[in-house]
Amino acid sequence: MPIKNTPEQFTTMDSLRKEIEEIVSLTDQEFESVLDHIKIRHFKKHQIILHEGDLAQHDFLVVKGLLRVTKLDSNGKEHILQFGMENHWITDSEAYYGQSTATLTIDCLEDTTAFSLTLKQREILCKIVPKMETYFLKIATRSFVDLQKRILCFLSSHAADRYHHILMVYPGLIHRVPKAMIASYLGVSRETLSRLSKTDG
C-alpha cells in the first residue's frame, strides 16, 4: 500500500526533488508518485538502524545527519566501510537487493533525517514512473565508480592518497566525527592522521 506523509514532513520534500532532478526531471504528478512510495524517517544519534543479522529492508537517502556502515571481523575489531552524508543513499547492498540478512551494521553518528525505500516500493515506483529506473541506475553506477576509486586508492601505499580521497568523497567529514573514526576508515594511526591534517592545512 502506498505510504502517505504527514503535512509536517513535506518541509524536506524539496530536497528530495532536487536530488532526483539532478539526474532526471519529473512532472508534479510523477513526483507525487515518488512521495506515495517513499517514507521520511527520523533517527537519534547513536541509534542503530540496521543490525548485522537483521533483514535489510530499506535503502536510505540522508537528508540531514550522518550515518556509518561498520563490520566486525572475527577478532571483534570494528572496521568502518562507509559514511552516509547528506544526499547519499546507504544500505547493506548485498542484503537489500538479495532480501537477505545483513552482514553490516548501520548506525547514526548524528541525529538524522532520511528517506527510506523498500525494494518492493522501489520496484513498484519504477513501473509507475519509468524515469526513476534511470535515476536509480545512475545512482548505482555512481556508487560503483566511487567504490572502484576507493579500492584503487587503498591499494596505494601512500596514506596521503587515502586522506585526500576522504576529503573529496566526504567534504567536511573530518570536522564532524572523531579523528579515531577517520583513522579507522583510512587504516592509519592517529599520529599519521594528525600529520596528514597539518600537511593539508
Kindly list the domain boundaries of the chain, sorted by start residue: 7-142, 156-201
User: What pLDDT, on a 0 to 100 scale, did the predictor assign at position 201?
Assistant: 53
Task: Give per-residue pLDDT as tens, 156-198.
Answer: 668 888 888 888 889 999 999 998 899 888 888 888 888 887 7
Q: What is the DSSP letter of 7?
A: G
Query: Is a pLDDT exceeding 80 seen at residue 21?
Result: yes
User: What pLDDT, on a 0 to 100 scale, did the predictor assign at position 1?
Assistant: 36
User: What pLDDT, on a 0 to 100 scale, did the predictor assign at position 31?
Assistant: 96
Query: Is a pLDDT exceeding 90 seen at residue 83?
Result: yes
Average pLDDT over residues 58-86: 92
- The Cα 170–Cα 81 span in angstroms is 13
Q: What is the DSSP letter of 3?
A: P
Query: Which one, of 58, 189, 36, lies nearest residue 125 by Cα?
Result: 36
Query: Which one, of 105, 167, 169, lies nearest residue 142 by Cα?
Result: 169
Burial 96-133 (b: 16+ CB within 10 A, else e): beeeeebebbbbbbbebbbbbbbbebbeebbeebebbe
- Give the bridge partners for 72, in sequence order: 78
Query: Is a pLDDT exceeding 60 seen at residue 8?
Result: no
Angle, vertex CA 18, rays to CA 28 and CA 88, nearest 5 = 130
Average pLDDT over residues 59-78: 92
User: What pLDDT, on a 0 to 100 scale, did the predictor assign at position 5?
Assistant: 47
Query: Is a pLDDT exceeding 80 seen at residue 6?
Result: no
| CA-CA-CA-CA dihedral for 118, 95, 181, 196, to nearest 10 | -100
CATH code for the part of the protein at 7-142:
2.60.120.10
Q: How would residue 56 be classed by pLDDT, with cut points 50, 70 and 90?
A: very high
